[in-house]
Chain A
Amino acid sequence: ETGVTQTPRHLVMGMTNKKSLKCEQHLGHNAMYWYKQSAKKPLELMFVYSLEERVENNSVPSRFSPECPNSSHLFLHLHTLQPEDSALYLCASSQGSWSSYNEQFFGPGTRLTVL
């Protein structure tokens, strides 16, 4: 595997389900990001992890819970989601300080549908 991979690629879940999204980067980067992409809207930054510590949380509802067990893996745990949470969830990684721009490499995303 190369680059940034995400699983699953598609997920359909009910509002009472609990599921997790997984991201893995094979680039040796030390920062990882979760973004939400809704149709015809700008990408919304959700969480940033730098050296496995969460450094940014952009007022994301607590029904989204990130986890970064090591610098290569990032999870997004989902529970009691709402239909408006349906979107493409993108993971990205970069090398260097997250607070100054370093090129972010994106995964292909997980298309989430909440029924």
Chain B
Amino acid sequence: GQQLNQSPQSMFIQEGEDVSMNCTSSSIFNTWLWYKQDPGEGPVLLIALYKAGELTSNGRLTAQFGITRKDSFLNISASIPSDVGIYFCAGLADGQLTFGSGTQLTVLP
């Protein structure tokens, strides 16, 4: 089946720093999604990308749909304490949604 490699698995950063995480695959996807999961909650959709090369922002978050359709990245600028959580990528192809294993983000004061 399709697999997504999400990295890094975890990150510890200082408040105010920028963050970057990415997902790669050997498969092509038609849609890329980025979710955030707060402790004790379910994932919440942050950004959806529908076209190769698309660059989309949501506040301090920016995500891009790779030109090869096999990868995507998420950047968070000027991190704040409430950015703490697990960030998941997900790719959609042939009606199947495949998730990455998540990036655990810790923001240090």
| 0/1 string, A36-56, CB within 8 A of B gives 1 | 000011110100000000000
Q: Which residues of B contact A90 (CB under 8 A)?
A: 42-43
Within 8 A of A (CB), among B1-25: 4, 9
Q: Which residues of B contact A107 (CB under 8 A)?
A: 42
Q: Check A40–B95 contact: CB distance below 8 A.
A: no
A100 CB–B CB distance under 8 Å: yes
Q: Check A40–B31 contact: CB distance below 8 A.
A: no
Q: Which residues of B contact A98 (CB under 8 A)?
A: 95
Which size class do B's interface residues fall under? 20 to 34
18 contacts between A and B (CB under 8 A): A4-B42, A40-B102, A42-B4, A42-B88, A42-B99, A42-B101, A43-B99, A45-B97, A90-B42, A90-B43, A92-B42, A98-B95, A99-B95, A101-B31, A101-B33, A101-B92, A106-B43, A109-B40
**Would you call the interface of chain A mostly helix, strand, loop, or mixed?**
loop
Chain A's closest residue to B96 (CB) is A45
B21 to chain A, nearest CB (A): 15
